[in-house]
């Protein structure tokens, strides 16, 4: 079995079209077995372009489609007769008399299937069969646990297949429950087979296909017995084993993920003496070691700072207009994506944490500064590279001087650093109070909450003031993005209800505010997922 691994759907479609064109150019009267569904649409689009550019000629080609719903009218927009006409036949110079699709209008399915089988034989069999693959490993409509030795036949569709195809109909109830389909024995007689797969939903089916086992639970596995099969798939379908890297000022945390769960962790120390190239060398060394153990489909990196035109500039790391993506891709030979670390953390929470199920969310991280990760329609939103720098929204005209050079930035009032400064001011004013007592050894984000627990009115005043400033910025974010969910992260967020409940009360009626749950894992998971 030959495996062609492509970066994405477009590359997969192009490669498949080239192989089909090569077959037709070598044998102009080729008999092609064609598939339907969403997967081959891109391939058919490429073939249409190639035909218009005189790169391939279909005038003598004969085609047999894998299947057709039953019962269904040819004129039904969801029939495969309509599908093939709209997505291929009417756009190329093929003789429609040479195209064959099982008759979903027949009153005698068994007779239709026998005749279809005879027609294939009369044309000398299929030279090149195109296949897709279902989430459960079916090809055509040969469902799991069905006989793998059948010819063209009428088959019932599983609930999983009905649900998968429901997106093409107004509702699930309109999906036919049966289909006429080439059997595995018929498919197996094809001289060559190309199987296409894209997307994470096909991952388990491809994993089974590429394993050593042949089973009726995944009909596609029978193809391992065929002498000439080419599997063309994208990285998402090939594997769900990824590496996520979360780069910080002191270390880079590295995780191997399967199904969005970290199964192995590594860490690389980062010192101020290191250059950008030496950091990359350390990352490459660890990733190469992991890739010897795991079948890694891609690597994602989260890094603090600005990313523009794929070049990174960071304040506390030696990356200055540095193309980290290019450096890692060149060294590791797998697809690499790089995004801002706050955005990666937001994505991590969206796929595996408190943001699960929300396609639109904002993760606000409260620490030395205030940052935000923004997810829109399930994807990271980065603008031109610096979206999410919400800490530098102006909330106080002519306010406190910020390190960025502006005055009145949100993080000068709502960061943990700002809270600590507010505590210090309060302690100077009330040196003998409960707050001062709690702050005598160390002042951090926990100090204010410890003092409030002991009944400090000063601490309550400081906290209420801090909460109000925090709410001002969040309210602006709500007004701009109207997200399904806002998540709060950072050490101070672990105060949970003490912080969250007063904040929700302040921001009513909007109350979709939650505490992030993944902590340090969010950046790793999000980096791998991007």
Is 142 annotated as catalytic?
Answer: no
- The CA–CA distances, whole Å, from 11 to 8, 14, 43, 354 equal 6, 5, 10, 35
Of 55, 34, 46, 36, give the one whose Cα is nearest residue 10: 46
In the chain, the largest separation of any two C-alpha atoms, in whole Å, equals: 100
User: Which sign, positive or negative, has the C-alpha torsion 156, 158, 159, 160?
Assistant: negative
The active-site residue out of 117, 127, 138, 153 is 138
Cα–Cα distance for residue pair 269/408, rounded to 1 Å: 35
Decide: 162 and 98 in contact? Cβ < 8 Å. Answer: no
The active-site residue out of 136, 165, 198, 360 is 136
Is 343 annotated as catalytic?
Answer: no
The active-site residue out of 143, 246, 389, 521 is 143
* Partner residues linked to 376 by β-bridges: 379
Is 259 annotated as catalytic?
Answer: no
Instruction: Give the three-class secondary structure for 303.
Output: strand
Cα–Cα distance for residue pair 240/187, rounded to 1 Å: 28
Is 349 annotated as catalytic?
Answer: no
Cα–Cα distance for residue pair 47/56, rounded to 1 Å: 8
Helix axes 41-52, 80-87, angle to 10 degrees: 40
Question: Is residue 43 classed exposed, middle or buried when 0-12, 13-18 and 19+ CB atoms within 10 A define those classes?
Answer: buried
Cα–Cα distance for residue pair 384/387, rounded to 1 Å: 7
HSE-up of residue 182 (Cα within 13 Å, Cβ side) = 30
Of 305, 199, 240, 246, give the one whose Cα is nearest residue 527: 246
The active-site residue out of 67, 68, 117, 146 is 67
Residue 284 is inside which H or E element, if any?
A: helix 276-293
Residues listed for the chain? 530
- Residues marked active site are found at 67, 136, 138, 143
């Amino acid at each position: 079995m030959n495996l062609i691994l492509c970066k994405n759907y477009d590359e997969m479609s192009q490669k498949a079209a080239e192989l089909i064109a090569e077959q037709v150019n070598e044998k102009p009267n080729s008999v092609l077995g064609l598939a339907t569904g969403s997967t081959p649409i891109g391939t058919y689009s490429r073939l249409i372009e190639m035909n218009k550019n005189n790169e391939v000629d279909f005038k003598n080609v004969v085609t047999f489609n894998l299947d057709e719903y039953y019962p269904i009218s040819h004129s039904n927009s969801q029939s495969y007769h309509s599908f093939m006409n709209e997505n291929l036949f009417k756009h190329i110079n093929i003789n429609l008399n040479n195209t064959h699709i099982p008759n979903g209008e027949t009153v005698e399915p068994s007779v239709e299937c026998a005749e279809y089988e005879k027609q294939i034989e009369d044309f000398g069999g299929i030279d090149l069969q195109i296949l897709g693959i279902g989430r459960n490993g079916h090809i055509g409509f040969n469902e799991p646990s069905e006989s793998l030795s059948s010819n063209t036949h009428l088959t019932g569709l599983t609930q999983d297949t009905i649900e998968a195809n429901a997106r093409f109909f107004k509702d699930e109830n309109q999906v036919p429950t049966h289909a006429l389909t080439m059997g595995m024995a018929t498919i197996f007689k094809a001289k060559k087979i190309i199987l296409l797969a894209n997307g994470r939903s096909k991952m388990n089916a491809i994993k089974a296909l590429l394993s050593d086992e042949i089973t009726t639970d995944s009909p596609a596995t029978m193809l391992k017995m065929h002498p000439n099969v080419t599997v063309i798939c994208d990285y998402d379908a090939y594997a769900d084993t990824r590496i996520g890297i979360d780069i910080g000022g002191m270390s880079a945390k590295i995780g191997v993920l399967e199904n969005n769960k970290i199964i192995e962790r590594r860490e690389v120390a980062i010192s101020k003496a290191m250059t950008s190239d030496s950091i990359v060398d350390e990352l490459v060394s660890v990733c190469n070691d992991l890739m010897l153990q795991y079948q890694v489909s891609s690597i994602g990196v989260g890094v603090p700072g600005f990313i523009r035109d794929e070049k990174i500039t960071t304040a506390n790391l030696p990356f200055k207009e540095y193309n980290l993506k290019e450096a890692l891709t060149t060294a590791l030979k797998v697809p690499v994506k790089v995004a801002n670390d706050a955005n990666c953390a937001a994505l991590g929470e969206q796929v595996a944490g408190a943001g699960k199920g929300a396609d639109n969310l904002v993760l606000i991280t409260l620490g030395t500064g205030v940052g935000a990760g923004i997810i829109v329609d399930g994807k990271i939103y980065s603008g031109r590279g610096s979206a999410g720098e919400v800490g530098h929204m102006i909330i106080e005209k002519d306010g406190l001087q910020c390190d960025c050079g502006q005055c009145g930035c949100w993080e000068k009032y709502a960061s943990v650093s700002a809270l600590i400064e507010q505590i210090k001011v309060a302690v100077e004013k009330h040196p003998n109070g409960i707050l001062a007592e709690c702050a005598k050894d160390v002042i951090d984000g926990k100090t204010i909450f410890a003092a409030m627990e002991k009944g400090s009115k000063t601490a309550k005043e400081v906290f209420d003031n801090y909460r109000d400033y925090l709410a001002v910025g969040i309210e602006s974010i709500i007004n701009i993005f109207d997200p399904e969910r806002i998540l709060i992260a950072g050490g101070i967020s672990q105060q949970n209800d003490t912080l969250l409940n007063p904040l929700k009360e302040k921001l009513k009626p909007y109350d979709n505010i939650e505490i992030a749950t993944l902590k340090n894992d969010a950046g790793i998971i999000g980096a791998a997922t991007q």
